Chains A and B, each alone.
Chain A
Amino acid sequence: MWRSILAFGKSLLDSLRDLAPIILVIAFFQLVVLQQPIPNLAGLLGGTLLVTLGLTFFIYGLNMGLFPIGESMAQAFSEKGSVFWLLLFAFTLGFSTTIAEPALIAVAEEASEVAAEGGIIEASEQAMHDYATGLRLTVAFSVGLAIVIGVLRILKGWPIHYLIIGGYASITVMTAFAPRSIIGIAYDSGGVTTSTITVPLVTALGVGLASSIQGRNPMIDGFGLIAFASLTPMIFVMGYGMII
């Protein structure tokens, strides 16, 4: 009992240390640069307490739930030996986690505003909604595809840099042809797709797969799934902008 309380206290301190830089930066800019008092100090302290507790619980649950299940599923799939089901799982995982991602919903809405302002689509509510939904589906599809390609890469042992550099090359070429207004959104969309829950799960899946297949190194082959998931959306969003 005492030991677990002690361990919890230690992880609380760790979380506090992780958060200290943000608090310092905000305090410095507020007090020294902008020279204003900190509004609602009690609320700020309460919020910081919540953030610290939250980070502690998250990391605790990560090691208890997300990491083990990602790895045990990867192992179970490789024992089952069915590539089809593994790839279907990879696609569904990528697609379903992205379609509901709040950051993506926000970006898609902003993109529809840009498109309406640029005269690419009608400035009506319906047209903008359709555009945003289409964009979300496109990005979710591209993330699903990215995880599939990434898993295939682990199975086959392809070196990652050829695929990534190929992706960069196609982004560079597409940038020349895509409408100017979509480029900023397309480049940003790569970063917003991977959420806090998806990242640990996908990482555990990749590492688990690479460790259960003979001849794969978990360090060299296990990582890289997220890299694909942040690359393909850029290509697909630019493609979407070119077609519509």
Chain B
Amino acid sequence: MAWLASLLDTLLATLQDVFPIAAVIFGFQLFVLRRPIPNLRRTLFGFFYVLLGLSLFLQGLEQALFPLGRLMATQLTHPEFLADETTGLLSATHWAEYYWVYIFAFAIGFSTTVAEPSLIAVAIKANQVSGGAIGVWGLRIAVAIGVAVGISLGTWRIVTGYPLHYFIITGYVFVMFQTFYAPRIIVPLAYDSGGVTTSTVTVPLVAALGLGLAESVPGRSPLLDGFGLIAFASLCPIISVMAYAQISEYRAKRNGRKKV
């Protein structure tokens, strides 16, 4: 019964999120555009499915995957796990001792991005608009690799304590150079993919990892160093999506030359 009550809570919370959006859409449709909504019944059903789907999704995550993921993030960053097995002392003065954390960051970044609903939505749309030239899976895998690399870099930064903005600004310079060499068609989509990746699934798990890590690494403060993982996770996919397009273009060119 407690399960049903919490599902109802999630449904209400989701309804609260959807309400302003629905109000804006229907308000403008009725008062500014002054025309009936095409396929009203279908649209309302669509909204209902989105609402129901998102609630079930969040409820399931909250019930099953988040507690375990959070627990794991704290366990992996716990001094006891990191301590040297032979001496039992925390010898984690060297950043390489945290290797399980980086591997976990990579794996969890990749797998949560593949399941991210808003990325699926953008990939479907990009596939439709490009007439199939951009594959749904290709885009999703490219973004997921970007997030995975970004989050592992971010955890490494928390461990070493280098300032965040050095990394981010270097990333920006990289993006700028890539923009001029990447195929023009991919650039807006690549910029978009930065913002898309970090929502429902990724943010809660990644935030737990960052805070746990900043708490257990000596000399880091969770308030000052715990942030920044999401910034990495929204920057690196831009680079990886453009790289994906560049590699596909390069291969297409090479194949084309062979044929001629």
Contacts of B259 in A (CB 8 A): none
Are A168's CB and B175's CB within 8 A?
A: yes
- Give chain A nearest CB distance to B205 CB in angstroms: 9
List B119-161 residues whose CB lies under 8 Å from chain A.
120-122, 124-126, 129-130
A198 to B21 alpha-carbon distance, docked (Å): 8
Given contacts A67-B125, A187-B228, contact A113 B223 (CB under 8 A): yes
Chain B residues within an 8 Å CB radius of A201: 21, 25
Minimum Cβ distance to chain B for residue A84 (Å): 10
Complex Cα spacing A7 to B132, Å? 21
Does A120 reach chain B (CB closer than 8 Å)? no
Query: Chain B 235-252, CB within 8 Å of chain A: the 1/0 string?
Result: 000000000000000000
- What 0/1 pattern do residues 147 to 183 of A give for CB contact below 8 A with B? 0000000000000110011001001100100001101
* List of B residues within 8 angstroms of A24 by Cβ: 111
**Does B47 contact A61, Cβ atoms closer than 8 Å?**
yes
A18-B115, A59-B117 given; A51·B24 CB < 8 A: no
B79 CB-CB contact with A under 8 Å = no
Q: What CA separation (Å) do A117 and B224 show in the bound complex? A: 10
Q: How many residues of B contact A (CB 8 A)?
A: 102
Give the complex CA separation of A177 and B35 in angstroms. 49
Determine how close the nearest CB of chain B comes to the CB of A203; give it in whole angstroms.
5
Contact (Cβ within 8 A) A34 B192: no
CB distance from A146 to the nearest CB of B (A): 10
Residue B92 lies at the interface, judged by CB distance under 8 Å to chain A: no
One of A18, A54, A100, A160 near B17 (C-beta < 8 A) = A100
User: B195 contacts A175, CB within 8 Å?
Assistant: no
Q: Is A80 an interface residue (CB 8 A)?
A: yes
Contact (Cβ within 8 A) B56 A114: no
What are the residues of chain B within 8 A of A103 when measuring CB–CB?
199, 203
Chain A hits for B55, CB < 8 A: 54
In the complex, what distance in Å separates the CA atom of A101 from the CA atom of B21?
Answer: 11
Complex: chain A residue closest to B191, CB-CB: A227
* A172–B51 CA distance with the chains assembled, in angstroms: 39
**Contact pattern, B 1-32, Cβ under 8 Å of A = 1, otherwise 0:** 00000000000010011111101110011001
- What are 28 of the A-B contact pairs (CB < 8 Å)? A22-B201, A34-B72, A34-B76, A38-B68, A47-B63, A50-B60, A51-B65, A54-B58, A57-B53, A58-B54, A60-B53, A62-B124, A66-B46, A68-B46, A73-B25, A161-B179, A161-B187, A181-B224, A184-B231, A194-B199, A195-B199, A195-B200, A196-B54, A197-B54, A200-B122, A207-B125, A220-B184, A220-B187
